Amino acid sequence: MCGIVAAASKFNVINILSDGLKHLEYRGYDSAGIAVIQDQKINRYRKEGKVVELTSSLTDNINATIGIAHTRWATHGKPSEENAHPHVAEENIAIVHNGIIENHIEIKNKFFKNTTFTSETDSEILAHLINHFAHKNNTLDSVHLSLQEIKGSYALAVINKKNPGQIIVARNGSPLLIGIGDQTNYIASDAHALIEHTNKFIYLEDGDLATITFENVNIFDKNKNKISREIKKSNLSLKSSSKEGYEHFMIKEIFEQPEAVKATIQDRIINNAVPKEILGPNVEKYFSKFKVVQIIACGTSYHAALVAKHWLERLAGIPCHAEIASEFRYRSHAVQKNTLLICISQSGETADTLSALRKVKNEDHYVGTIAICNVPESSLARECDSTLITHAGPEIGVASTKAFTTQLTAIMLLVIVLGKNFEITKDLEKSLCKQLQGLPEKIKSTLALDAEIAELAKVFSDKEHALFLGRGSHFPIAREGALKLKEVSYIHAEAYPAGELKHGPLAIVDENMPVVAVAPNNVVLEKLKSNLEEVKARGGKLYIFADKKAGFKNDDISQVFEIDAPMNPVAPILFTIPLQLLAYHCAIIKGTNVDMPRNLAKSVTVE
């Protein structure tokens, strides 16, 4: 969601800020702004719309050695220039803020009954609150006192014209890092914004505050005690954040999946076995104790969780519950003893998943916590007992593709490890390992359907609705396919278990409703065929992604796309690929913003 970039330098920072905002565009936003201190005053520049509209409005005479910048994704207040960050108080204090100030109305009533505010945002209150305390305190103390008053989440960067060489930052619940450079130090929501300047980062923890100048970084805990945080080197590169000749990041990332899956299994399968040590040194804490698994996730990661539930129960015989994190965190639970909690998140910063983890991880019924995510330095990775990193590499497109398939790959590795204490035998482990090792080549062969699917997408160009069907572990794949189509092409789509057709969905099937079916060659194949006959009998147009041996044939109202997906547990990963391609090509035809769909953010770091 919202993105922060800031810098304190011996040199002009305007290009650092504007370029950093461009690198943060993938997170999703509706307005952007920059504030710098120049000639002993705060100069602010804001625009609704894209970063290019902001940067094209900047004048050549901006020469500032300190500044803060922001991309906003609207929560409180509509997208507008007035609501865009940075927010300023009395021309003294400027702030950029990610998160939500839950008690902003109470703060207004307590401190600012007679103050005129210029935006509809909750964030503006922070600028005024810090300015209020700054009349009698230095900037660090003013920020610290302000944070004692607020409830909510924040990643915060503050500049004060009375202290023009310093930025104050604070973090609670929203990601924030410090980049270490030569005669320049940086702040950002994630490393993508800064990777062309530095690969050395300090990842702030909840409750941290810091002062940043071009020479020094000082970090404090929530009580203002000085502390140290480790400087970590990032493996990100500018290449990984570029399109490399592809028209969009989404299609680039779809075609990166063979290598991403290969990287995720690399060094984790040894002699056709998966050692438990892939879960790190804390694995013994829970490995022999857990009896049941609880998975929490959001969005696409929740679909991965649903596949994981099928695999854990069917292959390993481990009881498993999977739930959307935003629902899980707000209800009472009848938790079984010796439950292992698994959290899945691409970014490792998903607000609801983190909050759910923090709510329950110290409860007696939970014996351990495992994170599956793509960012080793993320909050989720740091806060769980064990982390299984997916090696998808940076995923810039908002619609998750390679992050999803690498999550499924990592989940299968985890199923193998956890299942050794249950029903996964050495023979089954060997078979599953071989299936995983064969995935990259099978994904490549599935990607060869690209041209055919591009033609199929033309059928959807004038459609407003679509129905996706699947059964068993492929129903979550149907759900993911429907989600992708919604996200990037804005065609309303929903998924149903194929066996539920007679319980409602058949009512909307007619010649104008495209029906997409996921048809692996498995134990429910004949049941699925019967379900699809029900669609054909109502005149529905069928588009079937089927295993080569499933026996489907083209006819007047059915079109079949054959996939080499043998009857084995990893088949859901392969059936994901054509549904991603379908969504992409539909979006191209519809002319939508493929990489940054309207109203959506890459990392959902607030509720």
- The catalytic residues are 2, 602
146: which 2 tokens? 């302000």
In 3-state terms, what secondary structure has residue 55?
helix
Element (H, E) at 447: helix 426-447
Give the Cα separation of 34 and 50 in Å (integer). 13
Pair 208, 240: CB distance under 8 Å: no
Query: Helix H segments across 361-425?
Result: 379-383, 402-419
Give the CA distances from residue 286 to residues 283, 333, 355, 367, 418, in Å, rounded to whole numbers and listed in that order.
6, 21, 21, 5, 10
Give the Cα separation of 1 and 16 in Å (integer). 20
Query: Helix H segments across 10-103?
Result: 14-23, 51-55
Pairing of strands 231-233, 366-373: unpaired
Contacts of 108 (CB under 8 A, 6+ apart): 115, 117, 125
Query: Helix H segments across 40-196?
Result: 51-55, 104-111, 124-134, 139-149
Sheet containing 492-497, strands listed edge to edge, beginning at the edge strand earlier in sequence: 492-497, 465-470, 514-519, 541-547, 558-563
Contacts of 56 (CB under 8 A, 6+ apart): none
Q: Helix, strand, coil: what percent of the chain each, to 5?
A: 35, 25, 40
423: which 2 tokens? 């029903």
**Closest of 382, 385, 383, 372 to residue 312, by C-alpha:** 372
Contacts of 36 (CB under 8 A, 6+ apart): 13, 14, 17, 42, 43, 62, 64, 66, 67, 68
Sheet containing 184-188, strands listed edge to edge, beginning at the edge strand earlier in sequence: 41-48, 31-38, 66-72, 3-9, 184-188, 177-180, 200-203, 231-233
In 3-state terms, what secondary structure has residue 288?
coil
Give the Cα separation of 382 and 110 in Å (integer). 37
In 3-state terms, what secondary structure has residue 139?
helix
Give the Cα separation of 31 and 21 in Å (integer). 11
359: which 2 tokens? 């709510």
Give the Cα separation of 238 and 22 in Å (integer). 13
In 3-state terms, what secondary structure has residue 206?
coil
Give the Cα separation of 15 and 175 in Å (integer). 23
Work out the end-to-end distance of the chain between its first and last CA atoms, rounded to an integer number of angstroms: 11
